[in-house]
Amino acid sequence: MALNNNHIVIMAGGIGSRFWPMSTPQMPKQFIDVLGCGRTLLQLTVDRFQDICPSENIWVVTSVDYADVVKEQLPSIPVDHILLEPCRRNTAPCIAYVSWKIKAKNPKANIVVTPSDHVVMDVREFARVINSAMKFTADSDAIVTLGMKANRPETGYGYIEADLSMACPSNKEIYRVDAFKEKPDLEVARRYIQRKNYFWNAGIFIWNVNTIVNALRVYQPPMAEVFERMLPYFYTDKEQEMLNELFPTCENISVDYAIMEKAEEIYVFPASFGWSDLGTWGSLQENSKKDAHNNACIGNNIKLYETRNCIIHTTQEKKVVVQGLDGYIVAEKNDKLLICPAIIVSWFSYYKRGSNYRCSLSAAKAES
């Protein structure tokens, strides 16, 4: 497996609405130092691939609105590897665009697709798993997704049901996928974790470029046709103009529905490397250092008194004193202040599974 054939695609177009006020549509969480470590989530994502892929083979797909911040935070990434979506169309069109463009220059490319806002604690084990999976996909038609070993009944993640009866002959850590499961309610999630063959769906995919392009041609022909029309314009001055015209015609659909639930050669690599999608304030608290009273403080000038089970995120230069709270979120940015019981935020982030309705914190603010 040649290192120069390894490509990393980072999806960085989300708006991070569940982390208000820290994250806003103008500056979403992937561009913020959420953990208080001096690096944004996007930069941390690039950092953990540094021994897997040369910087000239890293791609970022984001909104046109975030072009400048991506260039500022990732100066080593070639400018023509920062792909600018003119509108939001979910993950399948995003992946199709970058896959056709990579294939135009490197038809032997082996690709990892990853979100930009996840946290990985054990970077060495992460690199081992990715390298092993890429070796598996380099010369095969396999599509591999990473399945995180579940340690609690999580309702915020989708699940992967794996067939653990027989590992793949060429890689004993990889198994066929039986089914993808939607985000469950608590009762169903408890049943899942009692079984050894259910894993959290991390949304990290590994495939070679021909595999994903062919899959899109078979299962999403109208979308494939859009990017076939784009071929003459890749790496030219007219690329963005043509993308602005054609990209909005793509169906708004995730890669899970477009490909993963339809293709046959789908595999899962069960792994454990301290992963979190950092999708909520609760997951941030879980992945942050805590004091003796289970408080997570991210900021330089925070004083707590008689306070327990809270997360305090105030990274700007303001003194913060919190007294007498239990189970609260306190977050401040740009003169916007959130003080809220953590359970309320969890409720507003909950998906109503009996309908297509979703209530978010931002919607709740708009109604109040």
pLDDT tens string 163-217 = 999 999 999 999 999 999 998 999 999 999 999 999 999 999 999 999 999 999 9
Tally of CB atoms within 10 A around 365 = 13
Does the 3-276 domain belong in CATH 3.20.20.70?
no
In DSSP notation, 79-103 reads GGGEEEESS---HHHHHHHHHHHHH
Cβ–Cβ under 8 Å, residues 158 and 314: no
> pLDDT tens for residues 202-223?
999 999 999 999 999 999 999 9
Tell me: pLDDT of 140 over 70.
Answer: yes
Specify which of 13-22, 127-136, 153-162 reaches the highest per-range mean pLDDT: 127-136
Nearest residue to 90 via CA among 321, 262, 266, 247: 247
Cβ–Cβ under 8 Å, residues 81 and 106: no
* pLDDT (0 to 100) of residue 2: 66
* pLDDT (0 to 100) of residue 1: 56
Residue 154 banded pLDDT, cuts 50, 70, 90: confident
What is the mean predicted confidence (pLDDT) over 37-58? Answer: 93
Q: Can you give the residue ranges of every domain in the chain?
A: 3-276, 281-367
Helix (H) or strand (E) holding 70: helix 67-73
* pLDDT (0 to 100) of residue 334: 77
Cβ–Cβ under 8 Å, residues 132 and 173: yes
One-letter amino acid of 249: T
Tally of CB atoms within 10 A around 219 = 17
Share of the chain above pLDDT 70, in %: 91
> pLDDT tens for residues 326-343?
988 898 887 788 888 876
Burial 117-155 (b: 16+ CB within 10 A, else e): bbbbeebeebbebbbbbbebbbebebbbbbbbebeebbb
Give the N- to C-terminal CA distance of the chain in Å, as an integer.
Answer: 56
